[in-house]
Structure 1
Amino acid sequence: MSLALVQSRALLGLQAPPVTVEVHLANGLPSFTLVGLADVEVKEARERVRSALQNAGLEFPHNKRITVNLAPADLPKDSGRFDLPIALGILAASGQIDGARLAGYEFAGELSLSGQLRAVRGALATSLALRTQQVAAQLVLPPGSAEEAALVPDARVYRARHLLDVVQQFLPPGSADAAGGSAHAGAATDDTTGWARMDALPRPASTTYADLADVKGQAGAKRALEIAAAGGHSLLLMGPPGSGKSMLAQRFAGVLPEMEVDEALESAAIASLAGRFVLERWAQRPTCSPHHTASAVALVGGGSPPRPGEISLAHHGVLFLDELPEFPRAALEALREPLETGHITIARAARRADFPARFQMIAAMNPCPCGYLGAAQRACRCTPDQVARYQAKLSGPLLDRIDLHTEVPTLPAHELLGAPPGEASATVRQRVVQARGAAITRQGCTNQALQGQAIDQHVLLEPAAAQFLQTASARLGWSARATHRTLKVARTIADLAGAPHTQMAHVAEAMQYRRTLAK
């Protein structure tokens, strides 16, 4: 048959729209035409496929007019993931493999000139999309990509190391001898390792994080970390250089609850899209620490095609922004919507992509340019005008969206050297898991995710606490957002204390974390 159809998938955010690779061989002037809104790297597949077929000992139809269409035509396609389906389409159209047996399979993989298969990004996102869409397809992927895709429960994934490994599975009936000859002519293949059904890796028994016990002292900052972990709140750490802000933030992921399977899959799928997924970090909460020179596109995502940014790579994990005022103003203001909604929409002229971005932001900053405003050990040398300009780099709306503000003072040398190790992360995590469990049992989400009427319904504020909060909010000039965020923090404090209702003491502690920057 001179026409063959092979199924594959494109990448569009976390979606994986289906792509049908149509290959037609016709008589006429020999040519190789590829159509279907293909990007440059997809068009280059013509040379890779031609060389791979020849070096693998397979026949390339030089005397035919080859037309390859990637349907639908209005969907942009990028990357080398279509090399393998294009090669199989040519083989099926020329009768070297049985095109009917390709039904029920979907293929993706980049071909080397020798016919070896190379990993492609987004394999886990593709497998997860198949599961979400309830598509019963079998995936054939290269080494590295197949192991990723097999992490999705009930996924049917096959790994192939070489083009010949795939060809041998779809040969026409009665051509087994020819397959053996082709394998010898191209590259040595081993049926036990070349083509294999992949099984999901077992979930790690435990994940390794830096331990909070390494931090001595700083009881107030550790308490703020525990509250942030229990309620899903964002946190701003302020203090002089060397006080331990970065050390605390880097240990925050260790006090968060273990990831659920769906959370781990979403987080790993985004990392796979960016080509940053590592199997050794499976089910481990990510901590992203972009440099303060990062642009708005680097933080929230962008490009053509749209790629996930740091906030999406930190999905279900931690986004640590050190030296917060040093970030570009546009980059910081771009964080406003994701902090509220938990997702980001990237719109470009060619396409539009949605990425999840439900992260916990931990930010750190110095109180002034020299860093020693209010420090006991060293005098600040900044003028009031310099302090005001430095702190004005952070807009009021952005600070309003950060739930907890706490100071991290410098410890005196005798306290630092003589203090015993702090409380271990495992001990703090137990309290966090218990508090989060109470919140999810009560309302189905963390306290930070409460919105609208759910706040009044689940905070369960006592009358005296409500009157105290109203008086304080009026005197301090808080916005409605600040008042609601204080209520959520107070509910988290009550959960940590095991209290069924939010009391005045819980509200009073929550108010201490809404202090503005020192002037």
Structure 2
Amino acid sequence: MPIGRTHSVSLLGLQGAIVEIEADISSNLPAFVIIGLPDAALGEARDRVRAAATNSGCSLPGRKVTINLSPAALPKHGSGFDLGIAMAIFGAAGDVSSESIDRVVHLGELGLDGRLRPISGVLPAVVGAQRAGFETVMVPTGNEDEAALVPGIRVVGVASLRDAVIWHGGKLDPVPVDPILRPGSHSVQDDVLELADVIGNDEAVDAMMVAAAGGHHVFLLGPPGAGKTMLAARLPGLLPELDPAAALEVSSLRSLAGFPVGSTLVTRPPLEAPHHTATAAALVGGGSGLIRPGAAARASHGVLFLDEAPEFASAVLDALRQPLESGVISIHRANAVAHFPGSFQLVMAANPCPCGQYGARDSECICTPMSRRKYLGRMSGPLLDRIDIQLRVNRITSAQLRVANESIRITTASARHRVTVAREAAAERLATTPWTLNSQVPGAWLRGPHARLSAATTSSIDRALERGGITMRGYDRVLRVGWSIADLDGAEHPTADHIGRALYFRKALSA
């Protein structure tokens, strides 16, 4: 009897690898064997497939069935191989066209009644199939809209195993079933908050616009009620719309994390705000079997907000140091290494002391100097040195409130327009380089002949470097922020005032 052969996709991070599914039916006693490094969920496919086939009216042969998942050395996880395993068996038995199943990638989990259940990670799996040269994928009806977001590939949505057999030439009569659909969820497209709601704190609003223009990381220090969370929540609204490649990547991360994607790609930058009890695996990603993206990966092309940052475990915070530098999150396991994008903007907020009142004009701090140093010392120096903008945020007074109520405040739409124009100016200046944002430009380039500023312009940071007020990394980061301020102001080059403002944003905590 011939061997049935079809294909599916195994995901490692966001990368999809094609898996060839082979089925052999021998004349031995009835048995069902799966080989090729399946995990526990995939190993249980033998029971799901057998029950689904029986209840769909197309029972499996009463002989030994051997399923080989190739390449055998590649670890395979999850229940998304069920449909492909069933099709390979029917191909070996001659119940469907072998040529038809061989040119189609199958994705989907089988229920015992034969219906197909939606699975997570369909979007990156279909992208992997397209890059491998396949033209057709078959997915559960509940994943059809999501799979159709990938251009240039034919998507076949089926509600049941019986429908899949019929599509591949099986001699069965159609039986209508109710498809299993994924529950809807609140879309990130609607999470755009109004910047004009921020009263007072014009300096902090300006800093957030600079951060948005250059893609800079931000640290906000201030007492409770100063507006740190309010400012951080509005940063994604200041960022431009995602380009098609970024939208596909953000949507793929949501799909892999198990969130419904819907019929349109995510076009607004995401905001992730994990609780301070989050583990390192929850923040950067991990898992004992299938490696899932953490909050930092899901925040790629958007904002990762860590409120009450000193309450996070020090080891969890330090896990962000590598992605902050490289823009890539790498998760190592004994048999594989998964890579996720990590090009997020980090915003950390913290109280100045355990009681939160140190430096507040209207309250008295009860903390000792030692407890204050110990509290903020939970955030390591190397991590803070990677934060471009470090700003103190104070509560506004009643007088400031009256003035703010009478003044015209900038809206989210206006600020986003200014940020977009500034980013376009930076992209034009960096057109011949691999970078598009000021935060990505290495210091050697900024200090080199391409962008070197005069000694008079950089005199403030030169003195700060000589006195030990900033490190060499901090020097370069001030230059990057200075360029972002200049781009926001429409200047061709930063002036001494721009560099001075950038240095203030870097050293405001010690001011």
TM-score by length of 2: 0.93
Aligned pair in 2 of structure 1 residues 471, 370: CA closer, same or farther (>3 Å)?
same
Q: Note the C-alpha offset of 1:96.
A: 1.1
1:236 is aligned to 219
Q: Note the C-alpha offset of 1:21.
A: 0.7
Contact 1:81 1:120 in 2 (8 A): yes
SS in 2 for 1:358: coil
Corresponding residue to 2:172 among 157, 175, 179: 179
**What aligned pairs does 1:55-454 form with structure 2 within 5 A after superposition?**
55-62=55-62, 64-131=63-130, 133=131, 135-171=133-169, 178-180=171-173, 183=174, 187-188=175-176, 208-279=191-262, 282-304=266-288, 305-413=290-398, 415-416=400-401, 419-420=404-405, 422-444=409-431, 445-454=436-445
Cα separation, 2, equivalents of 1:19 and 1:417: 65
Cα separation, 2, equivalents of 1:242 and 1:458: 44
Cα separation, 1, equivalents of 2:91 and 2:285: 39
Structure 2, gaps ≥5 residues long: 181-186
Task: Identify which range, 461-470 or 266-275, moves more after superposition.
Answer: 461-470
Cα separation, 1, equivalents of 2:274 and 2:151: 32
Aligned pair in 2 of structure 1 residues 349, 134: CA closer, same or farther (>3 Å)?
closer
Contact 2:50 2:59 in 1 (8 A): no
Cα separation, 2, equivalents of 1:369 and 1:65: 66
SS in 1 for 2:16: coil
Contact 2:123 2:150 in 1 (8 A): yes
Cα separation, 2, equivalents of 1:142 and 1:497: 51
Corresponding residue to 2:457 among 465, 489, 492: 465
Q: Note the C-alpha offset of 1:373.
A: 1.0
Cα separation, 2, equivalents of 1:464 and 1:407: 28
Cα separation, 2, equivalents of 1:458 and 1:153: 39
Q: How many residue pairs are counted as aligned between the two chains? A: 495
Q: Deviations over 1:300-355 (max 9, x none)?
A: 11223322111111010100000011100000111111111100111111211111
Structure 1, gaps ≥5 residues long: 173-177, 195-203
SS in 2 for 1:144: helix
**What aligned pairs does 1:8-47 form with structure 2 within 5 A after superposition?**
8-47=8-47
SS in 2 for 1:25: strand
Aligned pair in 2 of structure 1 residues 72, 281: CA closer, same or farther (>3 Å)?
closer
Q: Note the C-alpha offset of 1:216.
A: 1.2
Q: Deviations over 1:442-479 (max 9, x none)?
A: 10410000015322355442331133321222124321
Q: Structure 1 counterpart of 2:93, which letter?
A: S
SS in 2 for 1:135: coil
Q: Note the C-alpha offset of 1:517.
A: 4.1
Task: Identify which range, 156-165 or 76-85, moves more after superposition.
Answer: 156-165
2:183 is aligned to none
Q: Note the C-alpha offset of 1:233.
A: 0.1
Q: Note the C-alpha offset of 1:127.
A: 2.0
Cα separation, 1, equivalents of 2:328 and 2:441: 16
Q: Note the C-alpha offset of 1:50.
A: 0.7
Q: Note the C-alpha offset of 1:516.
A: 6.4
Cα separation, 2, equivalents of 1:84 and 1:134: 19
Q: Structure 2 counterpart of 1:481, which letter?
A: R
Contact 2:105 2:129 in 1 (8 A): no
SS in 2 for 1:16: strand
Aligned pair in 2 of structure 1 residues 303, 281: CA closer, same or farther (>3 Å)?
same
Q: Structure 2 counterpart of 1:429, which letter?
A: R
Task: Identify which range, 280-289 or 154-163, moves more after superposition.
Answer: 280-289
Q: Note the C-alpha offset of 1:130.
A: 3.5
Q: Note the C-alpha offset of 1:414.
A: 5.4
Cα separation, 1, equivalents of 2:412 and 2:481: 21
Contact 1:2 1:26 in 2 (8 A): no
Q: Structure 1 counterpart of 2:454, which letter?
A: E
Cα separation, 1, equivalents of 2:91 and 2:233: 53
Cα separation, 2, equivalents of 1:458 and 1:52: 65
Aligned pair in 2 of structure 1 residues 281, 154: CA closer, same or farther (>3 Å)?
closer
SS in 1 for 2:499: helix
Q: Deviations over 1:70-122 (max 9, x none)?
A: 11111111110010011111111111111112232100100001111111111
Q: Note the C-alpha offset of 1:416.
A: 3.7
Q: Percent identity?
A: 41
Q: Structure 2 counterpart of 1:70, which letter?
A: L
Contact 2:276 2:306 in 1 (8 A): yes
Q: Note the C-alpha offset of 1:229.
A: 0.1
Cα separation, 2, equivalents of 1:230 and 1:122: 32
Q: Deviations over 1:348-399 (max 9, x none)?
A: 1121111110000111001111111111111211111111111211111111
Q: Structure 2 counterpart of 1:256, which letter?
A: L
